[in-house]
Amino acid sequence: MPDQLLSTADQSMLDLAVQEAGKSLQEKGIPVGAALAHDGALLASGHNERIQSGDPIAHGEMSCLRNAGRRPSYRDTTLYTTLSPCPMCTGAILLFQIPRVVIGECETYAGDIGFLRSRGVEVLLAGDERCVSMMREFQRRHAEAWSEDIGGR
């Protein structure tokens, strides 16, 4: 269930993250996408590339941050992700002091939204059915790859 309705700018950025997740799925990868924005303007986007590149840390959020390149500060950005962040991606959010995260869904993987919130991150949960549908289908078809992506949980 969504926390609240997203603004038009937030929905637009989440739509970009969903497009990135779709790219990963088309590449036979894990359908997680992310986008990083400042004042409603896209800075970078990316998608999970673990399977495609053989890179164990190429989660959607990590690929997005890599594509953003160096920044003196992330304190004025919002990260949009199709799936609740794993512990590694949560750590990156906290390390770079990203103050706001919009999450597409947390039904297929809960992550630890409470931990982000307890550390002062504003978290909005969109409850986006596109995100749920893509991930459920992937988990059903590729359970072993999904288990590998989240550390065998």
Beta strands in the chain, from DSSP E residues, in sequence order: 33-38, 41-47, 78-83, 100-105, 122-125
Instruction: Give yes or no: 49 in active site.
Output: no
Catalytic residue among 61, 122, 144, 148: 61
- Residue 1 makes CB contacts below 8 A (sequence gap 6+) with 125, 127
Two tokens, residue 82? 């199709």
How far is 153 from 151, CA to CA, in rounded Å? 6
Residues marked as catalytic: 61
